[in-house]
């Protein structure tokens, strides 16, 4: 009888996690995100248009943006408490359910002083939803693939918001249908999450950033995020009204809002790559100047000039939208690697504060300069910021090459709300960067 072969012990190598595996683990979450943000993009354009149809005062329309971003800031600060109490899945379901009710309330309660409250609740819900989504993505992806996953998430974010804005053309803003559609989209976003088999991550914690220290660390980064909040916050709220008063139909309004986003998305990469090679503040000033010039020219357009308006809208987006990521990257150039998350979270709150104030100031100017108020305000804000950047360039040398962070990494963190709720996330790359700086410092001392 033949002897049985002796089993050979083979050491199993650890499983390799590929990008495909990482995406599979968060596929349901990304699908929910796409449907959710499509609904948010639709109502972001729809609600100001309906308010204008109902003859709301311009100041009352500005309050809609103020309400949204006040709720957004409050959601960033208190969202982690909800997560620790209810967990990711239940928190997502609860916030999506509340957010889906808001468009319906807008359609049946046509009171200008009540709508800012509805928008504040919407902003709160979406801030918490962003925290759920992004903290989930952050934990369920490895350091090796986190950048790629968040890049895909950012592309999805911009794409579906643009699609939502374009959906304004399939119905009449004066009727109930579009509000119902926005509500349906937000409600449908709960289905993939409800049936996901993936485990939920650990609930994050909150660390309040020191804003004074943040300004001292990077005055240009701080001022840049405040500037973007003031100008772009006003644009998100009052841009549809500007397009409506310029004579664009509903489809034209959706197209105008979309080309601004597309212009910003296209310009993001070349401006970011340029900022990695030269003084980042020069690129920041250039970006802000593009936004300022486009804004001033936009304010001078006659009514009905649709093609020039779309072209200038794309130029405005190309200058205004990359500026936040550039400012975050510049601030990170002057921060220790282990402090980059806190820097990003602090700048997000600075942006939110500016975005809450911007629509209010812009709407107050409407009585002086009529429909041109939005872009006169944006152009002036960006021009003042350009002057400030040039002044800072004369007072402070550029960051050393070894201290500069890669723009791609900063762009990803700049687009994510979850950065505001983590005490510290130190990746392997950050640890390596810290060790490299320590070694370099030791060599200099020798």
How far, in Å, CA of 45 to CA of 291, rounded?
A: 21
Q: Token pair of 51, please?
A: 């308010």
- pLDDT(418) > 60: no
Domains and CATH numbers, the chain: 24-202 (1.20.1250.20), 207-440 (1.20.1250.20)
Confidence of residue 439 (pLDDT cuts 50, 70, 90): very low
- Top-confidence residue, 340 or 423: 340
Q: H/E/C letters for each residue in the chain?
A: CCCCCCCCCCCCCCCCCCHHHHHHHCHHHHHHHHHHHHHHHHHHHHHHHHHHHCCCCHHHHHHHHHHHHHHHHHHHHHHHHHHHHHHHHHHHHHHHHHHHHHHHHHHHCCCCCCHHHHHHHHHHHHHHHHHHHHHHHHHHCCHHHHHHHHHHHHHHHHHHHHHHHHHHHHCCCCCCHHHHHHHHHHHHCHHHHHCCCCCCCCCCCCCCCCHHHHHHHCHHHHHHHHHHHHHHHHHHHHHHHHHHHCCCCHHHHHHHHHHHHHHHHHHHHHHHHHHHHCCHHHHHHHHHHHHHHHHHHHHCCCCCCHHHHHHHHHHHHHHHCCHHHHHHHHHHHCCCHHHHHHHHHHHHHHHHHHHHHHHHHHHHHHHHHHHHHHHHHHHHHHHHHHHHHHHHHHHCCCCCHHHCCCHHHHHHHHCCHHHHHCCCCCCHHHHHHHHHHHHHHHHHHC
How far, in Å, CA of 128 to CA of 80, rounded?
A: 8
- pLDDT(176) > 50: yes
Over range 142-170, report the average pLDDT.
Answer: 81
| Sequence-separated (6 or more) residues with CB below 8 Å from residue 46 | 103, 168, 173, 178, 179, 182
Over range 158-175, report the average pLDDT.
Answer: 91
Cα maximum dimension of the chain: 104
CA 430 to chain centre: 23
Over range 348-372, report the average pLDDT.
Answer: 87
Over range 60-87, report the average pLDDT.
Answer: 89
Please give the share of the chain, as a percent, with pLDDT higher than 70: 78
Instruction: Give tens-digit pLDDT for 214-269.
Output: 888 889 999 999 999 999 999 999 999 999 999 999 999 999 999 999 998 888 88
- pLDDT(359) > 90: yes
The alpha carbons of the chain give a radius of gyration, in whole angstroms, of 23
pLDDT at 146 (0 to 100): 66
Neighbours of 337 (CB within 10 A): 20
Average pLDDT, the chain: 82
Q: Token pair of 292, please?
A: 């300022």
Confidence of residue 17 (pLDDT cuts 50, 70, 90): low
Cβ–Cβ under 8 Å, residues 228 and 350: no
Instruction: Give tens-digit pLDDT for 283-331.
Output: 999 999 999 999 999 999 998 889 999 999 999 999 998 898 888 888 8
| Sequence-separated (6 or more) residues with CB below 8 Å from residue 55 | none
| Sequence-separated (6 or more) residues with CB below 8 Å from residue 359 | 61, 62, 63, 64, 65, 66, 233, 234, 237, 238
pLDDT at 401 (0 to 100): 58
């Amino acid at each position: 009888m033949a002897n049985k072969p002796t089993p050979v012990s083979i050491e199993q190598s650890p499983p390799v996690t590929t990008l495909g595996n990482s995406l599979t683990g968060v596929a349901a979450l990304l699908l929910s995100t796409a449907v959710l943000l499509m609904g948010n993009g639709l109502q972001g354009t729809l609600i100001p248009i309906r308010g204008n149809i109902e003859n709301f005062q311009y100041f009352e329309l500005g309050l809609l943006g103020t309400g949204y971003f006040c709720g957004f800031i409050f959601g960033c600060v208190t969202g982690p408490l909800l997560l620790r109490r209810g967990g990711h899945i239940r928190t997502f379901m609860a916030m999506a359910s509340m957010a889906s009710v808001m468009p319906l309330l807008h359609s049946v309660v046509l009171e200008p002083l009540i709508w800012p409250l509805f928008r504040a609740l919407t902003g709160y819900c979406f801030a918490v939803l962003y925290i759920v989504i992004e903290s989930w993505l952050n934990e369920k992806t490895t350091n090796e693939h986190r950048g790629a996953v968040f890049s895909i998430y950012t592309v999805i974010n911009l794409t579906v918001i643009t699609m939502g804005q374009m959906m304004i053309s399939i119905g009449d803003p004066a009727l109930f249908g579009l509000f119902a559609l926005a509500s349906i989209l937000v409600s449908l976003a709960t289905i993939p999450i409800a049936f996901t088999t993936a485990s939920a991550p650990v609930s994050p914690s909150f660390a309040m950033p020191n804003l004074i220290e943040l300004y001292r660390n990077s005055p240009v980064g701080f001022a840049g995020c405040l500037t973007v909040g003031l100008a772009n916050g006003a644009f998100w709220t009052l841009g549809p009204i500007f397009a409506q008063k310029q004579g664009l139909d509903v489809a034209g309004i959706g197209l105008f809002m979309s080309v601004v986003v597309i212009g910003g998305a296209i310009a993001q990469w070349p401006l970011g790559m340029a900022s990695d090679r030269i003084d980042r503040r020069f690129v920041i000033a250039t970006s802000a100047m593009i936004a300022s010039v486009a804004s001033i020219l936009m304010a001078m357009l006659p009514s009905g000039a649709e093609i020039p308006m779309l072209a200038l809208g794309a130029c405005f987006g190309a200058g205004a939208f990359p500026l936040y990521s550039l400012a975050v990257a510049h601030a990170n150039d002057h921060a220790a690697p282990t402090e980059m998350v806190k820097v990003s979270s602090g700048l997000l709150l600075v942006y939110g504060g500016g975005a809450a104030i911007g629509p209010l100031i812009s709407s107050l100017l409407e009585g002086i300069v009529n429909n041109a108020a939005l872009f006169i305000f944006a152009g002036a804000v960006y021009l003042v910021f350009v002057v400030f950047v040039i002044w800072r360039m004369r007072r402070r040398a550029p960051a050393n090459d070894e201290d500069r962070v890669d723009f791609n990494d900063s762009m990803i963190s700049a687009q994510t709300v979850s950065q505001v709720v983590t005490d510290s996330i130190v990746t392997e790359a950050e640890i390596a960067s810290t060790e490299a700086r320590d070694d370099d410092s030791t060599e200099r001392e020798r």
